[in-house]
Structures are given as structure tokens and as C-alpha cells.
Amino acid sequence: MMKICSFKTLIIVVMVALLVLPVVGCAPKAPPPPPPPPPAGTLTVEPAKIDQAMLKGVLPALAKALGLPEAAAAGLPPQMGILAIPVKFKGTGWQPNEIVTVELVVPPDVAMKGLDRERGEDAVGIAFATTDDQGNFEVALERVSKVDWLLRGDFLPTMALDTKSLGNPLPNLVYTLRAVGEDTRAVATTTWDLQLTPPAAPPAEKPAEPGKLTFEAAEYTNAELGFSVKYPKDWAKQPPDTLLFYAASPAQVPVLFVDAEEAATFAEALKKSLEGAGGSGFKVVSEKETTLADGTKATAAAIEVTLRGFGAKAFALGTQKDNKWILVTVGTVELLAPYNEAKFSEIVHTLQFKK
């Protein structure tokens, strides 16, 4: 009896083995380990450092490219010089005919539009290159990337540069640049010293004594209409064209416009005057009644207008005399010089009439 049971047991074991063997033979093999990453090449950037001296040095060329007078270069924000500085990224030792992405690593405490840190993103792609058959590349940093990622600015729907958005460049830091091959395990890095942000402005000047101007003044007098206006002494008289008088600071902005126009309202007269001087897109931001030092009632307004293709802000004052509005306007292109309503108001309020 024991022998018969042993034989049956043996038969069962053999049958189970025959059933299991095909299954074992069909089991998938473990995948082979991934190939090692290709060797990463090198990455360099030229220039390796961009400082304020370099930025300011190219502002005259930039002003010319923008169609501005050479004197306006002094009023351009230094960070705009990056638009005129050629920047190149170079690499060697990459795979032939490979696409390499150059990324700017953004520190955690630096804001950057379009960067999704919740998804683990820590960099933005600022340039893209294709290597040659030797694995080398050279690529320039395009103007759009300079505006988007270095100046953190914007473009208008017309694709024109939004000059009002360029006041927030990257903070002054030594940044990491990262080159990434098609196999994202192939990575090379280098550093880039960017000093785009101008130094802090000096403390504001102390207010002048009551009744005393905060600036050394020159004076424009119109004998025919019987009035005068004072303005900073270092502002130079310009060809007036359609205006009665036109003066500009050494940097070409701010400017002073003096004019006289017939119109039903102050706003209509001011719009007519500025459009005659080449302006467009006139808009009154705020308007109020005011009184001149000689007791004359007047109207003052903060306005916006486009001059020579640039958005400008101004403070204007007007009063009627002999069916004409006498208009005094001080304005600036904020890209070149900040809007200072207190000072601009002080200038236009120097309007006086002969008794």
C-alpha cells in the first residue's frame, strides 16, 4: 500500500512539473539596464559678466537704434543696454546633430513668469542650438529672450516692446546656466554674473521753503499774450514747430510745452495742442480746478499721450484769456525719465499774467 501511494505521488509531481514548466518558460525576462548617459559636452557664455558699466556703454547705440536723439541715452534705464549687447552660448563635445537647450536656473526667491515651481520647474529655456557633425554649437541670445527672461518685460499685442514693463530686471546675482542634451541626463553647467539692476536712487531732495522754487529757474515770457512761465535753467530751448515755446532737459525728457489754442474746454484745447505737436492717443487721467500764485483760476490735469511712438505721461495746466486757452504742459517718457507730478505741477504753476 505504501508503494502504490508513493507511485501515485510521483505521477502527480511529474504532471505538475509538466504544467508549470511552459509557464515558467514564457515568463518575461527582466529588462536590460538602461544604457549609460552619453557624455555631456561643455557650456560657456560670452560675456561671462554683464555689469552697469557695460550696460551704460552701449546706451548711445541703443538710443540711435530706437530713433532717439543721442542725448536721450543718458535718460535710458541702464538695464535696457542688454538689448544692445551680443550674448553667445557655446558648447563642445556634445553628440553630433543634437538639439541642446540652454536654461537659466532661477533661484527659489526670484519671481519668473511662466515658471511652475509646483511641478518642480526651476529653470526657463532661453536659447536652443543644434550641434554640428563634430558636436559643437554656438547660439545667440535673441532679443525676445532678453526681454522675457532677463528684463522680465512684455510685448504689446502688436509685438512692439512694452516700454512700461522694463523696470523689473533680474536681481543682481551670479546665475547658473544649464545646457541639456536630447538625453536629459547629459547636462553641463556654467555661471553667469548679471548686474542688471541699477543702484538705489539717492534720497529725495528736501522740499523747498514755502514760496521758493525747488529748481534754479529760467523764464519764458510772451509779451503778446501777457504771460510768463518759469522752468529749470538747464533745460534748453528747442525749435517750437507748432508750439509757442518748447524746452527740454539735457536728456531730452522731461519737456516743457507752452501753447495757446481756441477750444470750448481745457481738455479739447490740450488735445488739439498735443496732436498738433505730433501726439496721439490723448487721455485725461485726472482733472481738477486750481489757482495760480497771482490769483488766476485755472484747470490742471494729469494726462497720457503717445509721442514719437513712446507712451508719455504729463501734467498740464490751462486758463482762458481773450478766448484762448493758455496751456503749459510738462511731460516725460517714463522709459527715459520718471514721472514726477510734484515737480511738474510746480513748473506749470509758475504761469503768471501781467496785471
Per-residue pLDDT of the chain (355 residues; tens, 9 = 90+): 444 455 555 555 455 455 545 544 555 677 888 788 788 899 999 999 999 999 999 999 988 888 777 777 777 889 999 999 999 999 999 999 999 999 999 999 999 998 999 999 999 999 999 999 999 999 999 999 999 999 998 888 877 777 777 778 999 999 999 999 999 999 999 999 999 988 776 665 555 555 689 999 999 999 999 999 999 999 999 987 889 999 999 888 899 999 999 999 999 999 999 998 888 899 999 999 999 998 999 999 999 998 877 889 999 999 999 899 999 999 998 878 889 999 999 999 999 998 7
Q: Tens digits of per-residue pLDDT, 106-130?
A: 999 999 998 999 999 999 999 999 9
**pTM, entire model:** 0.63
Q: How far is CA 214 from CA 197, 208, 340, 345, in A?
A: 29, 5, 13, 12
Please give the pLDDT value at position 210. 58
Please give the pLDDT value at position 1. 40
Alpha carbons 284 and 301: distance in angstroms, whole number:
7
Please give the pLDDT value at position 351. 96
Helices (H), the chain: 2-26, 52-57, 59-65, 143-145, 266-276, 341-348
Please give the pLDDT value at position 272. 94
The label of the residue with cell 538705489 reads 200
Please give the pLDDT value at position 162. 77
Please give the pLDDT value at position 248. 92
Please give the pLDDT value at position 3. 47
Please give the pLDDT value at position 18. 52
Provide the terminal-to-terminal Cα distance of the chain, rounded to the nearest Å.
144
Q: Which fold has domain 217-353?
A: Protein Transport Mog1p; Chain A (3.40.1000)
- Domain ranges for the chain, please list them: 44-194, 217-353
Element at 124 (helix H, strand E) = strand 123-130
Please give the pLDDT value at position 143. 93
- Asked if 290 and 322 count as a contact pair (C-beta separation under 8 A), the reply is no
Please give the pLDDT value at position 38. 83
Please give the pLDDT value at position 273. 93
Alpha carbons 229 and 31: distance in angstroms, whole number:
87
The three-class DSSP label of residue 156 is: coil
